[in-house]
């Protein structure tokens, strides 16, 4: 039936037809939905009509301009102006690495938090910046026109790069000094947009909660809901004269917050998604790339946790907790993606959407001639990549500074160094020698565990009879072979490497001999994978052009860490046989503290205990919405149609991890810190009166002690 509908009505109408069926409560999960490709709208294709019709307010160009100029991009995250005086709100986890950089002798700001009681006490963050989007322009004609004039894939790529450089230079000249220009591909290279940012380089820390409050619940609560985290921090942008930056465009600070079915818009810079991939690309992710990655992360994380339990003091000294959090965060994310890829209903929806798209291409003679075979060509590339699956598994983390043994990384570097010397490339050899002695040790037991895992990977993916496996194991178990290699190699430690890494000794070193078996195979694999990926990228760009021809801007492009705005509503969802509330409260935070105890991830900082008498524990703490967020949206403001900030986005639920491939608002939620909890904590826990005053009135309080006397700037 649906094939007939596709032929008669076309894919766009089929998607619209599908949405009401689901909305009426008839759950047909295999039917593509109108917004399966997401709602990450761009400013250059602003969805003014859709927002206006859907949410009943005048979402005109002026509205989008105000939002655009109120929001910032900071390294790895998003943020926003929340006063006319350059005050900026973002997540604590977005700046926790920077908190340490402004720490003074004797301070432990991650544990104790930070609040500048006076304007003069705000501390400049070294090497930090904040970007404000001042222009967003479609430059597809310039870039694609240059590419179309080229006569080979290599020439097309070179023409693209030249055109992008020319666009950047032109916009840089138009906007003058102090701007940063980026040209990003959209629709996998089917379109190109240029983003012009004003870059602020004087950014100062104003307030940051304690790590235990900002990361309340720790790794166990990551990607879960209900949540109880006070994940917020405040910065301030200063102008070139060292004064707080005056910004006419900023977000209002809501005192009323949200309630069920409230409309929210989340604005930020979501990281790359994969919603426009073909079925063949998704199947390679499902069958090869993601399972390998999940296993590699899980094995390494288990090894780190075992070591940390054995020697927490050394673990703390090497900041292993943060490394483990990074691995755990990635493991949860990849596991969620794998679950989505293995969900038949999701893959069926993706297949039907692709078939609808291809029907439209085949129905148009011009599109058919230009793009009719593109999907099949992409599938052929995936088949070729599939033949490299064994090497992909064997080498997945072999060069990772945190997931691979140092001795093997030294062996690979030494083998390359010896090659360079033999070829008379002395400068290259000297550079590699410096790299060799710069590779840091892992603690002995962790090094042994990582080497055991790498040798096990050789066996698992290459097979017991492969030359690499045979030399690596030498008829021993992976653990026995790891012990033997570490005892025999002069590269087992950094000190031994610095002392004995001369060519005559290295030639027969067991780590170098193993590396010499690995290195040519690794290079061959990497070269072939890169070659295929370049062809795949070119084909994806062609398919992106076809998609834009068929759907136009009704289908947003995949996220590319470029500025986006997404819409949603505050709504509960079913999970674990119960219903998730739309928001949690401070009562819940204290309940978790008293239920789990102080020596757990649900511990609270000292200033929270006992609860201050003035603290209203009914205050909403975290809330959820259906807004389409992703990694990179951390710190994004959640705003109302009145451009008032009601929350700070900081996470997704685990059901929302499928958003890498498909947007399913019936199950996925983004999670935000409620501004009411931020206000309450600033006022009654941190006594940050000058910040509360500025948020509510917009007035800049120069000195804390002058606030009560009415002295303002």
Say whether pLDDT at 503 is over 70: no
CB 352 within 8 A of CB 36: no
**Higher pLDDT pick, 20 / 531:** 531
* Higher-confidence position of 29 and 248: 248
- 3-state SS class at 89: strand
Identify which of 540, 550, 554 has the alpha carbon closest to the alpha carbon of residue 39.
Answer: 554
Whether pLDDT at 712 is above 60? no
Buried residues in 572-581 as b, exposed as e (16+ CB within 10 A) = ebebeeeebb
Length of the chain: 713
Q: Report residue 262's pLDDT band, with 50, 70 and 90 as the boundaries.
A: very high
346: pLDDT strictly greater than 60? yes
Partners of 625 in beta bridges: 670
Compute the mean pLDDT over every residue in the chain, rounded to the nearest whole number. 92
> Measuring CA to CA, which residue among 482, 313, 464 is closest to residue 394?
464
Q: Residue 322 — very low, low, confident or very high, per pLDDT cuts 50/70/90?
A: confident
- 81-94 pLDDT, tens digit each: 999 999 999 999 99
pLDDT score at 701: 87
* Secondary structure (3-state) at 461: helix
pLDDT average, residue stretch 291-316: 96
pLDDT digits (tens, 9 = 90+) for 88-145: 999 999 999 899 999 999 999 999 999 999 999 999 999 999 999 999 999 999 999 9
- pLDDT-based confidence at 258, cuts 50/70/90? very high
Residues 499-519, mean pLDDT to the nearest whole number: 81
> What is the rounded CA–CA span in Å between residue 657 and residue 336?
5
Q: What are phi and psi of 206, to 5 degrees?
A: -105, -45
Contacts of 634 (CB under 8 A, 6+ apart): 76, 77, 78, 90, 91, 93, 94, 268, 649, 650, 651
99 contacts 656 by C-beta, under 8 angstroms: no
- Is residue 638 pLDDT above 60, yes or no? yes
Whether the per-residue pLDDT at 76 is higher than 80: the answer is yes
Sign of the torsion formed by the C-alpha atoms of 521, 540, 667 and 639:
positive
pLDDT in tens, 195-228: 999 999 999 999 999 999 999 999 999 999 999 9
Q: What is the per-residue pLDDT for 6?
A: 33
C-beta of residue 446 within 8 angstroms of C-beta of residue 454: no
Q: Which one is predicted more confidently, 27 or 75? A: 75
- The answer to whether residue 34 scores a pLDDT higher than 60 is yes
Mean per-residue pLDDT for 35-49? 96
Kind of pairing between the strands at 191-200 and 578-580: unpaired
Of 189, 147, 198, 192, the closest CA to residue 45 belongs to: 192
Task: State residue 501's pLDDT score.
Answer: 53
Q: How far apart are CA 250 and CA 64, in angstroms?
A: 12
Separate counts of helices (H) and strands (E) for the chain: 29, 20
Condensed to tens digits (0 to 9), the pLDDT of residues 228-238 reads 999 999 999 99
pLDDT cut 90: percent of the chain above it: 89
**Secondary structure (DSSP) of 625-661:** E-----TT-TTPEEE-TT-EEEEEEEEE-GGGGGGGT
Smallest Cα–Cα separation from 679: which of 82, 73, 78, 72?
82
What is the number of other CB atoms lying within 10 angstroms of the CB of residue 597? Answer: 10
Q: What percentage of the chain has pLDDT greater than the value 70?
A: 94
Given a cut of 50, whether residue 404 has pLDDT beyond it is: yes
SS3 at position 542: helix
Does residue 17 carry a pLDDT above 70? no
Instruction: Report DSSP letters for 214-226, one per residue.
Output: HTTTHHHHTT-SS
DSSP per position, 323-380: HHHHHHHHHHHHHHHHHHHT-HHHHHHHHHHHHHHHHHHHHSHHHHHHHTTHHHHHHH
Helix (H) or strand (E) holding 574: strand 573-575
Cis ω on the peptide bond leading into residue 610 (within 30° of 0)?
Answer: yes
Contact between 398 and 297 under an 8 Å Cβ cutoff? The reply is no
Which tens digits make up the pLDDT trace of 650-660? 999 999 999 99
Instruction: Give the CA distances from residue 49 to residues 18, 238, 395, in Å, rounded to whole numbers and listed in that order.
Output: 21, 36, 49
User: From CA 630, how far away is CA 673, in angstroms rounded?
Assistant: 16
Q: Report pLDDT for 237.
A: 98
- Is the pLDDT at 556 greater than 60, yes or no? yes
162 vs 240: CA distance, rounded Å: 33
pLDDT at 16 over 90: no
Q: Can you give the pLDDT at residue 675? A: 98
| Mean local confidence (pLDDT), 537-556 | 95
pLDDT in tens, 527-542: 999 999 999 999 999 9
Mapped onto helix, strand or coil, the DSSP state of residue 421 is: helix
pLDDT at 500: 63
Report the distance separating Cα 321 and Cα 1, nearest Å: 54
Of 74-78, 314-318, 462-466, 585-589, the least confident: 314-318
Q: Which two tokens stand for residue 225?
A: 């809901």
Confidence of residue 24 (pLDDT cuts 50, 70, 90): very low
pTM above 0.85, yes or no: yes
Could you give the count of Cα atoms lying within 13 Å of 3 in the half-sphere of its Cβ? 1
Count of beta carbons in the 10 Å neighbourhood of residue 425: 14
**483 contacts: CB under 8 Å, gap ≥ 6:** 448
Query: What's the rounded Cα separation, in Å, for the pair 383 and 532?
Result: 10
pLDDT in tens, 428-464: 999 999 999 999 999 999 999 999 999 999 999 999 9
pLDDT at 493 over 90: yes
Res 26: pLDDT: 29
Looking at residue 41, the DSSP 8-state letter turns out to be: B
Q: Residue 704's pLDDT is what? A: 52
- What is the reported pLDDT for 316? 87
List of long-range contacts for 15-19, beta carbons under 8 Å, 24+ apart: 15/353, 15/356
């Amino acid at each position: 039936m649906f094939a007939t509908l596709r032929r008669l009505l076309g894919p766009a109408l089929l998607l619209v037809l599908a949405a009401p069926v689901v909305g009426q409560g008839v759950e047909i999960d295999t039917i593509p939905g109108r917004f399966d490709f997401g709602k990450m709208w761009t400013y250059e294709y602003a969805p003014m009509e859709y927002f206006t019709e859907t949410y009943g307010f005048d979402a005109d160009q002026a509205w989008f301009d105000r939002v655009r100029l109120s929001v910032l991009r900071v390294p790895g995250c998003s943020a926003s102006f929340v006063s006319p005086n350059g005050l900026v709100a973002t997540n604590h986890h977005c700046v926790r690495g920077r908190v340490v950089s402004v720490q003074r002798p004797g301070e432990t700001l991650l544990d104790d938090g930070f609040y500048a009681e006076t304007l003069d006490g705000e501390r400049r963050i070294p090497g930090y910046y904040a970007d404000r989007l001042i222009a967003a322009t479609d430059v597809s004609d310039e870039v694609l026109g240059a590419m179309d004039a080229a006569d080979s894939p290599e020439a097309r790529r070179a023409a693209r790069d030249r055109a992008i450089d020319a666009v950047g230079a032109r916009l840089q000249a138009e906007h003058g000094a102090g701007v940063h220009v980026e040209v990003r591909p959209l629709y996998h290279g089917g379109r190109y947009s240029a983003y012009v940012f004003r870059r602020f380089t004087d950014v100062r820390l104003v307030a940051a909660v304690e790590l235990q409050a900002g990361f309340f619940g720790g790794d166990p609560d990551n990607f879960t809901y209900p949540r109880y985290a006070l994940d917020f921090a405040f910065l301030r942008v200063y102008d070139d004269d060292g004064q707080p930056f005056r910004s006419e465009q900023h977000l209002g600070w809501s005192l009323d917050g949200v309630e069920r079915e409230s409309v929210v818009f989340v604005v930020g810079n979501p990281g790359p998604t994969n919603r426009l991939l073909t079925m063949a690309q998704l199947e390679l992710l499902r069958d090869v790339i993601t399972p390998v990655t999940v296993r590699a992360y899980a094995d390494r994380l288990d090894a780190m946790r075992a070591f940390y339990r054995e020697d927490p003091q050394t673990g703390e000294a090497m900041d292993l907790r943060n490394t483990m959090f990074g691995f755990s965060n990635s493991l949860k994310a990849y596991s969620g993606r794998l679950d989505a890829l293995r969900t038949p209903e999701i893959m069926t929806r993706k297949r039907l959407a692709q078939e609808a798209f291809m029907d439209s291409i085949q129905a148009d003679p011009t599109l058919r001639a230009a793009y009719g075979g593109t999907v099949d060509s992409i599938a052929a590339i995936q088949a070729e990549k599939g033949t490299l699956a064994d090497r992909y598994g064997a080498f997945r983390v072999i060069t990772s500074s945190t997931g691979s043994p140092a001795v093997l990384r030294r062996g690979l570097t030494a083998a390359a160094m010896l090659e360079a010397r033999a070829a008379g490339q002395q400068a290259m050899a000297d550079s590699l020698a410096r790299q060799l002695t710069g590779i840091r040790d892992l603690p002995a037991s962790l090094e042994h565990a990582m080497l055991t895992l790498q040798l096990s990977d050789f066996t698992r993916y290459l097979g017991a009879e492969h030359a690499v496996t045979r030399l690596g194991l030498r008829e021993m178990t992976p653990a026995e072979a790891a012990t033997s290699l570490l005892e025999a190699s002069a590269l087992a430690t950094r000190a031994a490497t610095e002392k004995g890494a001369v060519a005559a000794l290295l030639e027969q070193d067991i780590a170098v001999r193993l590396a010499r078996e690995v290195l040519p195979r690794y290079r061959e694999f990497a070269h072939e994978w890169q070659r295929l990926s370049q062809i795949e990228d070119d084909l994806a760009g062609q398919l992106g052009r076809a998609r834009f021809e068929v759907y136009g801007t009704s289908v947003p492009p995949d996220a590319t860490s470029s500025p986006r705005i997404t819409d949603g509503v505050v709504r509960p969802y079913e999970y674990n046989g119960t219903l998730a509330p739309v928001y949690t409260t401070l009562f819940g935070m204290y309940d978790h503290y008293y239920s789990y105890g102080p020596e757990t991830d649900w511990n609270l900082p000292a200033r929270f205990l006992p609860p201050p008498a003035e603290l209203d524990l009914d205050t909403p703490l975290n809330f959820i919405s259906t807004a389409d967020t992703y990694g990179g949206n951390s710190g994004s403001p959640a705003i109302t149609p009145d451009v008032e900030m009601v929350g700070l986005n900081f996470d997704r639920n685990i059901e929302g991890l499928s958003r890498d491939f498909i947007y399913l608002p019936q199950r996925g939620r983004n999670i935000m810190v409620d501004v009411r909890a931020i206000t309450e904590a600033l006022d009654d826990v941190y006594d940050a009166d000058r910040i509360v005053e500025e948020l509510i009135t917009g007035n800049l309080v120069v000195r804390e002690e002058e606030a009560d006397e009415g002295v303002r700037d």
